[in-house]
Chain A
Amino acid sequence: MTADARRRPGIERALAAVAVIGGVLAVVAGSPARPTRGSVDVTELARIVEHEEDHVTAVELARWIRDDKPRLRVLDIRADSEFADFHIPGATRVPLAEIARMPLDSAATYVLYSEGGTHAAQGWFLLRARGVKNVFFLRGGLYEWLEQVMNPHVPSTTPQAQRDSIRALTLWFGGKMTVVDSASTVPSAPDRELSAPHKSDARESIRKIRRRAC
């Protein structure tokens, strides 16, 4: 056979030796799946959290999106189906596990949000540990977005200029502002403690918004 004439035993033996060495070393080399290691400055993180520099309010985020903040990346870490139902415009769905290993842009500003705030806060920690400086999370999650941006209830005592600015922002995202009698409602200040409504509440609000959009 011509193939046999072309054979070079020297090369074959060398290749076999490479395979043997590669195979034997593989047994003792340990796992090929490298753990993604990060390191955190615990004191620094504690300071950031204490000074509440770790999160954005829904209104701030809405302004960033509207004003086209350079290299803003909004990450939605909820389930696929929830993302399909409704998400903040321009957001990308990224599972929490993916946050641990996705390629990062160190110059970008990352904003994480989940349904409430807990998962996003955990994602915030992961990204900080991976060395991202500009990372924030939406403290009240999508509830806060729905309450403050899509469907804000503004007391009638709010100054006209402020009311107009809220209305403009809400309209930009296709929401609807409601003016309420100040006596009958809790002031809708962005920094007040947010109650955590039930899951069905969020779904219900989303459904209302979708109906309006249609």
Chain B
Amino acid sequence: MMAPLYEFGRFGDSASLVVAVLLGIAFGWFLEQGGMGNARKLSGQFYFTDLSVLKLMFSAIVTAMLGLFWLSWAGLLDLSRVYVPETFIAPQIVGGLVFGAGFATGGLCPGTSCVAAATGRKDGLALIVGMLAGVFVFGEAFPAIGHFADSTARGAWTLPQAFGLSYGTVVGGVVAVALGAFAGAEWLERRAERPARPMKVVA
């Protein structure tokens, strides 16, 4: 599962599962600490009032990306062994829209619904049931939609390949986009707060 310790045989299957459980607990704990188990906070994203999700995602992307880039640059990590999920353009656009509709409606995504359920929130539990039902329906419907799900395959497709740029240039570009997104998100949040204040006074 997890390179490099698993791949080089330092970990067996069971040790690898223990590591996965520990990482999962840490992941959930930090999501909850960031307020990501709260559906109200998450759905603020879709009304441009609270862009914590966007900021959290970009922070995670930039942290992981810089870490991978510089570790690999220092010769401590082999980038070619990092798993890159495959790209299927059309099915992933459709899937992303379905996912977004569910996220905006329920206020939680799969990971955060587990976090919400773990803290005893009933909406989190409801979304987990929905998620499992969705997985089941997708599996049952696969014979009919499998052809579409496998269409427009691009394999493991990375930004450096897509744009014909060097890794470093893409890293610099993503950092610039992230900082721009942060600035934009903060501006939107400040704008959303302004009319809210007089309303509080009235209430």
Contacts and interface: CB of A to CB of B under 8 A. Distances in A.
Interface of A: 1, 3, 15-16, 19-20, 22-24, 26-34, 101, 103
B179 A19 contact: yes
Contact of B169 (A27, A34, A101): A27
A26 B66 contact: yes
B171 A31 contact: no
Contact of B78 (A3, A26, A101): A101
Contacts of A26: 66, 69-70, 167-169, 171-172, 175
Nearest to A101: B78
B155 interface: no
A20 B175 contact: yes
A115 B122 CA distance: 62
Interface string B68-83: 1110110100111000
Contact of A19 (B50, B66, B80, B167): B66
Given A16-B182, A31-B167, A23 B172 contact: yes
Given A26-B66, A103-B8, A33 B72 contact: yes
Contact of A3 (B35, B75, B175, B176): B35
B52 interface: yes
Interface secondary structure of B, over-half rule: helix
Nearest to B160: A31
A15 B35 CA distance: 20
Contacts of B178: 19
B172 to A, nearest CB: 4
A164 to B, nearest CB: 40
20 contacts: A3-B52, A19-B179, A20-B179, A22-B70, A23-B171, A23-B172, A23-B176, A26-B69, A26-B167, A26-B169, A26-B175, A27-B169, A27-B171, A29-B73, A29-B168, A30-B166, A30-B168, A33-B72, A33-B80, A101-B78
Most chain A beta carbons < 10 A, residue from B72, B73, B75, B182: B73
Given A26-B70, A33-B72, 12 more contacts: A3-B35, A19-B178, A22-B66, A22-B69, A26-B66, A26-B167, A26-B168, A31-B166, A31-B168, A33-B80, A34-B72, A34-B73
Contacts of B69: 22, 26, 29, 32
A61 to B, nearest CB: 25
Nearest to A2: B35
Contacts of B75: 34
A101 B166 CA distance: 22
Contact of B62 (A19, A34, A103): A19
B72 A32 contact: yes
Contact of A22 (B35, B79, B166, B175): B175
B174 A32 contact: no
